[in-house]
A and B are shown apart, each in its own frame.
Chain A
Amino acid sequence: MDVHVLFFASLAERAGLRSEVVAVDAAATVETLWRELESRHPALVGLPYRPLAACDQVWTAWDATLARVREVAFVPPVSGG
């Protein structure tokens, strides 16, 4: 199945894009998706933090499966204010 991946802020810069479509298998988790993204975009490897993930705009743990998820967003630690 395909998931729509979103990157924000420094992650978008590192990946060189703000969104892409990635095919994942039925057992995929947030973490396995991230590993795939690291292999596509080497600048994402070795971050000093683990990005936050949101599946269909709900903050989600990295071991969550992507069954029926359409959109996965990855964001760096926030710094608003």
Chain B
Amino acid sequence: MVALVDEPIAPERLLADLAAESDGAVALFLGTVRDRNAGRRVIGLSYHVWPEMALAELRKIELEACASHGASAIRIVHRTGDLVVGEISVAIAVAAPHRAQAFEACRFAIETLKRGVPIWKKERYEDGSAAWIEGA
């Protein structure tokens, strides 16, 4: 399951019914909004997405995580819109038979998302200015 959501992410919802009885591991990755970047105080982020292509790319990650990285099931949810410091921007939950596969598939998913899914963040700073971040 992949999704783009404009409301706070509840990680426990990603975990519900994720693992099968044949799975012995679940890995959960949460990306959160930091209060600083490149020496500047950040008060929040705005995420802009190309919804159709972002969902298509997330589905490719979902398929590849299961086909090539040992995941039994994966859920990826990314926020859109305005977030404040501390909020969850992305959540990835992976179930797998063993921990090595769960960690590996989760790492694959977040790294691939950051490199190739059409989502962009704009940082808001305490002085009222804002700047696009371009490139992972």
Contacts and interface: CB of A to CB of B under 8 A. Distances in A.
B69 to A, nearest CB: 18
A8 interface: yes
Size range of the interface on B? 20 to 34
Contacts of B47: 80
Main secondary structure of the interface of A (DSSP, over half): loop
Interface residues of A, number: 16
Given A49-B134, A79-B120, 9 more contacts: A9-B122, A9-B132, A54-B53, A57-B53, A75-B120, A77-B134, A77-B135, A79-B133, A79-B136
22 contacts: A8-B50, A8-B118, A10-B120, A10-B134, A49-B134, A49-B135, A73-B50, A75-B118, A76-B120, A77-B135, A77-B136, A78-B116, A78-B120, A78-B135, A78-B136, A79-B135, A80-B47, A80-B78, A80-B113, A80-B114, A80-B120, A81-B110
